[in-house]
């Protein structure tokens, strides 16, 4: 685990702050480092591009519509929105506080703020969960590359939905998904190896705005379709009888996954924030744009689904079976199809970059590993497990443990990380920030001079102390 003596990065508590607690005095002993700048995001816009780029991904465009589709549309969306605003923004702010005040990785931050704390264990959850997500996520990102290429070729030789179902099945059962998983991870490698400013920030500055432009183009097109009304009603008219325990845990998992929360991803990004980056404001903007991307994705998909007579309950296949069938019938589909899969690829990339940073930042900052080696190690592990995830649709499908329990690594990684590790990590982060961390540090770190957002600080602290831990715990127990 991380060394606990003050590191080279410096902290906002280094200069000119009164020293009124033992924990704070640790900060005042630290020195600002001369060469820390390249380890920080250069601009405020870069901060938003990076955090929104991390948040907006397959979770919004692929997972949100199918989860909403399976769980009755509007009802799922309401529960999801409640989780985003009630838990998401406060926990996101907590991760920002831990990252920006320490400039350390998810392993280093906890021990640094409270030497000897057991909460350092959150680092382990973060690194394990990030590698699990990176593995199965890269498989799906690889599918988007295949469909992107195919949309210039044989994608339109099919017509009925059965054809597309068969095509997806044949593709995922073959060897090509393995190739695409590896290719995608290598592209990811090319970005992260360049470092925080030249790699992560620069890529996010390009990808994130482009993503929103593309989503908006698709939405406008979708709203002109004849099934627009039905699609929008499905998404926005809640049927509260649909809300069940599984909808609630699904929506909570989706909120955490979608905001990249609970595994220290946003903590890691916040460790690259400059000391004057406003936290509550950045958290609110990030969550707002993330929700917007999810809703726009719903607006993009459901009108089309209803126009062409498909069922919104297709599950994970929605984007890869139903949408191609729709593109095949839609005027201009030949242009929209490649554009759509390119958009999915970009969205995946800006998210996997952030997942990779969790381990890379730990290895480089706390373990003294060079950035290049840290990147290779992270990508290497993700490749190994990613290939296993890809194989769980083909050679390893139907694998059973002890002859009875189905062992599908892709599903196990997806379920364990989003529905268990992320909310659990989020609960621990809330407890640490709400109960363990020196209140002065929390208040000072959150303080945004002369900002309207300051009035939310007591609310955020209240949620972190009482609401988030209890709520996550109750939902867990009731699910078990
Ligand atoms: N927020 C991403 C999405 O919605 O697709 C997924 C994600 C990114 C999860 C980064 C976790 C993470 F660390």
| pLDDT tens, position by position, 49-68 | 999 999 999 999 988 988 88
Average pLDDT over residues 329-339: 89
Indicate if the pLDDT at residue 408 is higher than 90. no
Give pLDDT tens digits for 200-247: 999 999 999 999 999 999 999 999 999 999 999 989 988 888 888 878
Asked if 348 contacts 58 with a C-beta cutoff of 8 angstroms, the reply is: yes
Indicate if the pLDDT at residue 174 is higher than 50. yes
Q: 55 C-alpha to center of ligand 1: Å?
A: 5
Q: Which atom of ligand 1 is nearest to the CA of 354?
A: 10
Helix (H) or strand (E) holding 137: helix 122-150
Asked if 213 contacts 285 with a C-beta cutoff of 8 angstroms, the reply is: no
Average pLDDT over residues 150-170: 82
Tell me the percentage of the chain whose pLDDT exceeds 70: 90
Beta carbon of 261 within 6 Å of any ligand 1 atom: no
Beta carbon of 323 within 6 Å of any ligand 1 atom: no
Distances (CA, A) of 334 to 97, 154, 224, 315, 331: 46, 11, 17, 24, 8
Indicate if the pLDDT at residue 419 is higher than 90. no
Residue 398 pLDDT grade (very low, low, confident, very high; cuts 50, 70, 90): confident
Average pLDDT over residues 169-194: 96
Nearest CA to ligand 1 atom 11: 260
Asked if 396 contacts 388 with a C-beta cutoff of 8 angstroms, the reply is: yes
DSSP state of 224: T
Q: 352 C-alpha to center of ligand 1: Å?
A: 7
Other CB atoms within 10 A of residue 126 CB: 27
Q: 64 C-alpha to center of ligand 1: Å?
A: 12
Nearest CA to ligand 1 atom 7: 260
Q: 266 C-alpha to center of ligand 1: Å?
A: 10
Beta carbon of 258 within 6 Å of any ligand 1 atom: yes
Dihedral sign, Cα of residue 353, residue 355, residue 359, residue 365: positive
Beta carbon of 50 within 6 Å of any ligand 1 atom: no
SS3 content of the chain, % helix, strand, coil (to 5): 75, 0, 25
Distances (CA, A) of 333 to 115, 149, 324: 58, 14, 9
Q: 56 C-alpha to center of ligand 1: Å?
A: 7
Give pLDDT tens digits for 192-203: 999 999 999 999
Pocket probe mutation, ligand 1, options 51, 52, 57, max atoms within 8 Å of Cβ: 57
Give pLDDT tens digits for 72-122: 788 899 999 999 999 999 999 999 999 999 999 999 999 999 998 999 999
Taking phi first (over 0 means left), then psi (-120 to 50 degrees means alpha), and beta for anything else, what does residue 243 get? beta
Beta carbon of 58 within 6 Å of any ligand 1 atom: yes
Give pLDDT tens digits for 338-359: 999 999 999 999 999 999 999 9
- Summary mean pLDDT of the chain: 88
In this predicted structure, what is the pLDDT of residue 156? Answer: 76
Residue 480 pLDDT grade (very low, low, confident, very high; cuts 50, 70, 90): low
Beta carbon of 354 within 6 Å of any ligand 1 atom: yes
Taking phi first (over 0 means left), then psi (-120 to 50 degrees means alpha), and beta for anything else, what does residue 274 get? beta
Indicate if the pLDDT at residue 147 is higher than 90. yes
Say how many residues make up the chain.
480
Beta carbon of 350 within 6 Å of any ligand 1 atom: no
């Amino acid at each position: 685990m991380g060394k606990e003596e003050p590191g080279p990065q410096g902290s906002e508590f280094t200069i000119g702050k009164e020293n009124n607690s033992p924990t704070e005095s640790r900060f005042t002993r630290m020195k600002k480092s001369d060469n820390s700048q390249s380890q920080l995001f250069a601009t405020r816009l870069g901060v938003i591009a990076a955090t929104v780029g991390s948040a907006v991904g397959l979770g919004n465009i692929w997972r949100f519509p199918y989860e909403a589709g399976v769980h009755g549309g509007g009802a799922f969306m309401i529960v999801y929105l409640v989780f985003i605003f009630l838990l998401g923004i406060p926990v996101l702010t907590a991760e920002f506080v831990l990252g920006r005040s320490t400039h350390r990785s998810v392993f280093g931050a906890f021990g640094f703020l409270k030497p000897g704390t057991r909460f350092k264990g959150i680092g382990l959850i973060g690194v394990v969960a990030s590698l699990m997500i990176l593995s199965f996520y890269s498989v799906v990102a690889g599918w988007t590359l295949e469909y992107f290429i195919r949309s210039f070729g044989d994608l339109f030789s099919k017509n009925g939905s059965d054809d597309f179902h068969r095509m997806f099945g044949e593709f995922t059962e073959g060897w090509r998904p393995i190739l695409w998983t590896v290719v995608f991870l290598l592209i990811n490698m090319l970005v992260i190896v360049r470092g925080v400013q030249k790699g992560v920030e620069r890529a996010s500055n390009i990808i994130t705005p482009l993503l929103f432009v593309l989503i908006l183009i698709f939405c406008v097109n979708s709203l002109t379709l004849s099934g627009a009304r039905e699609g929008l009603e499905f998404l926005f008219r809640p049927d509260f009888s649909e809300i069940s325990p599984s909808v609630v845990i699904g929506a909570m998992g989706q909120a955490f996954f979608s905001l990249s929360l609970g595994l220290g991803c946003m903590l890691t990004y916040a460790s690259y924030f400059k000391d004057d980056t406003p936290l509550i404001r950045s958290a609110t903007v990030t969550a707002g744009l993330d929700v917007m991307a999810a809703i726009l994705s719903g607006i993009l998909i459901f009108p089309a689904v209803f126009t062409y007579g498909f069922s919104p309950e297709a599950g994970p296949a929605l984007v890869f079976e139903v949408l191609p069938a729709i593109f095949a019938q839609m005027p201009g589909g030949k242009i929209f199809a490649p554009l759509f899969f390119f958009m999915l690829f970009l969205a995946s990339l800006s998210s996997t970059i952030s997942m990779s940073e969790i381990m890379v930042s730990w290895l480089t900052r706390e373990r003294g590993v060079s950035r290049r080696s840290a990147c290779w190690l992270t990508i290497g592990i993700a490749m190994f497990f990613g290939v296993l995830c890809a194989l769980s649709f083909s050679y390893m499908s139907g694998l059973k443990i002890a002859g009875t329990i189905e062992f599908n690594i892709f599903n196990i990684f997806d379920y364990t990380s989003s529905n268990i590790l992320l909310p659990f990590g989020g609960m621990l982060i809330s407890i640490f920030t709400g109960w363990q961390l020196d209140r002065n540090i929390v208040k000072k770190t959150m303080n945004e001079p002369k900002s309207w957002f300051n009035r939310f600080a007591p609310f955020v602290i209240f949620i972190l102390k009482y609401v988030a831990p209890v709520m996550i715990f109750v939902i867990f127990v009731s699910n078990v």
